[in-house]
Structure 1
């Protein structure tokens, strides 16, 4: 079926309906959008390698204080209670995550927060 097109000519409406693609964004729109402060900070953490260093520090501190062993014991207890074949990883994550977050020692949180503050002061975004 022929229908009028925007240029004044006639087009086949079946062909127009068959093209389902998103419009491409204008280059100017993307250039005007500046990353938010949070995005800039995240980029700095990743590019500098500080994010990986902080993650490694967190792993070390959680092992040192026995947190990792405590979480492992909680997982084993939950699996034993529910039965090995009746537990999924998602079940474990759902049950253990709130307990794990709540049991991180304040000293570990304070140390990480201080390291983050020091890093942010050094890059002075």
Structure 2
């Protein structure tokens, strides 16, 4: 059965055709829209700036140096450092940075979803 150019096939038509379509999750759709609009890069820059301003980046640098000092420079790999520091880094992101990012994403979704 041919599908109209103006409307997507109904779920019944898909089953009848035997075709399986990959469904995007809401998160994936939002990510695509963020990338297409260039807003994702803007948000990444915002987060980088806020983390520097809050001192988070310096804290992570210190944590990395302490771990290397404790283990010995020759006994630490980049992969190990990432594995050890990542949970600390994620847990220590300031709440106001998280909230600002969330607000910006919500505003973006609202502007894209508005007719």
Q: TM-score range by the shorter chain?
A: 0.7 to 0.9
Extract unaligned runs of 5+ from structure 2: 1-17
TM-score (norm 2): 0.78
Task: Note if 1:29 corresponds to 2:3.
Answer: no
Range 33-42 or range 97-106, more displaced: 33-42
Report 1 or 2 for greater relative contact order, CA contacts < 8 Å, sequence distance ≥ 6: 2
* Higher share of residues assigned strand: 1
The change in CA–CA distance for 1:85 and 1:51 in structure 2 (over 3 A counts) is: same
The aligned residue for residue 106 of structure 1 is 95
State the shift of 1:104 in Å: 0.7
Matched pairs, number: 97
Which segments of structure 1 move beyond 4 Å, counting only runs of 4 or more?
A: none
Which structure's CA Rg is the greater one? 1
**What TM-score results when the alignment is normalised by the length of structure 1?**
0.72
Superposition RMSD in Å = 1.6
